[in-house]
Amino acid sequence: MARNFDNDRNDRDDRGSRGPRTGRPGTRRRRVSRISADKIDYIDYKDVKLLLSFIAENGKIMPRRLTGVTAWQQRKITEAIKRARNIALLPYIKY
Amino acid sequence: MRTYEVIFISAPGTADDDLTKLTTQLEQTVTTRGGIVTKTEHWGRRKLAYSIGKYDEGNYTLLYIDGTGQEIAEVERRLRVTDFVIRHITVRTDEDLKRAAKVKAKRKPTAAGRVPGEDLNLDLDDSDGLSEDEE
């Protein structure tokens, strides 16, 4: 399981402002949540563009470990993504 | 008063007449029960993220409704019995929107003249303003 997550992370290294992978392991700067930075107060399930930035290539919801959002934001994002999926704005799975 | 958003997807082959008829009908059901339809949005034909039944596309309609909840039950029932509606969802938004508005209002005073790293300089800004006033 743990190994799997690590692979995930490597795959996605080009996604964020993570910077060069130098220095000691575990000293990487934590990603700042886009939600906080853009001062979004209401996470709208209709905002497909925003939600797309929180789902992975295969359509899965990204863990907040990778996106840097707060726990509260993650819950709201999850809720919004699930609503969006229900009305076919977002896919459940993408191949 | 609660606010709701009702989205429904109608099949791509639906006649415009049927759709407008349904929306006006829904608006009537809401108003006769004491609610208000504050806004109606037609998104038009959109590609679905996945196929529903045999459809790859759908016609999205979004209703913003203010009401008590009773009219929603009837609106939902109508959507369920209407054949060309292939998917619908109702979301209650007042609580989340209220909370969002509160957060926004709270942030506003400090957000004026925002500069990068302003979180660190908050105290400085405040004391500056004060001293000027005193002089």
CA angle at A48 for the pair A45 and A49, rounded to the nearest 5°: 135
pLDDT of A61 reads 94
Cα separation, A87 vs B1, whole angstroms:
25
pLDDT per residue as tens digits for the range A18-77: 555 556 666 566 667 777 777 788 899 999 999 999 999 999 999 998 888 989 999 999
- From B131's Cα to the closest Cα of chain A, the distance in A is 30
Question: Among residues A91, A78, A89, which one has the least CA distance to residue B7?
Answer: A89
Per cent of chain B over pLDDT 70 is 80
- Tell me if A88 and B49 make a contact (CB, 8 A cut-off): yes
Same domain, B23 and B82: yes
Please list, in sequence order, all residues whose beta carbon lies within 8 angstroms of the beta carbon of residue A94, skipping any fewer than 6 positions away.
Answer: A57, A58, A59
pLDDT at B112 exceeding the cut of 80: no
Helical packing angle, B70-81 and B16-32, nearest 10°: 160
Same domain, B63 and B114: no
Give the start-to-end residue ranges of the domains of chain A: 31-95
Same domain, B22 and B35: yes
pLDDT per residue as tens digits for the range B77-89: 999 999 999 999 9
Same domain, B32 and B86: yes
pLDDT of B111 reads 54
Segment 36-65 of chain A within 8 Å of chain B by CB: 39, 41-42, 45-46
pLDDT per residue as tens digits for the range B27-73: 999 999 999 999 999 999 999 999 999 999 999 999 999 999 899 99
Mutation target to probe the B interface, by most B beta carbons within 10 A, among A72, A85, A87 is A87
Superfamily of domain A31-95: Ribosomal protein S18 (4.10.640.10)
Cα separation, B29 vs A88, whole angstroms:
26
Please give the residue range of the domain that contains residue B63. Answer: 2-92
Same domain, B112 and B69: no
Identify residue A43 by its one-letter amino acid code.
I
Nearest-CB residue to B52 (from A39, A88, A89): A88
Cα separation, B99 vs A95, whole angstroms:
37
Burial class from Cβ neighbours inside 10 Å (0-12, 13-18, 19+) for residue A56 reads middle
Total structural domains within chain B? 2
Same domain, B61 and B88: yes
pLDDT at B118 exceeding the cut of 60: no
Cα separation, A71 vs A64, whole angstroms:
8
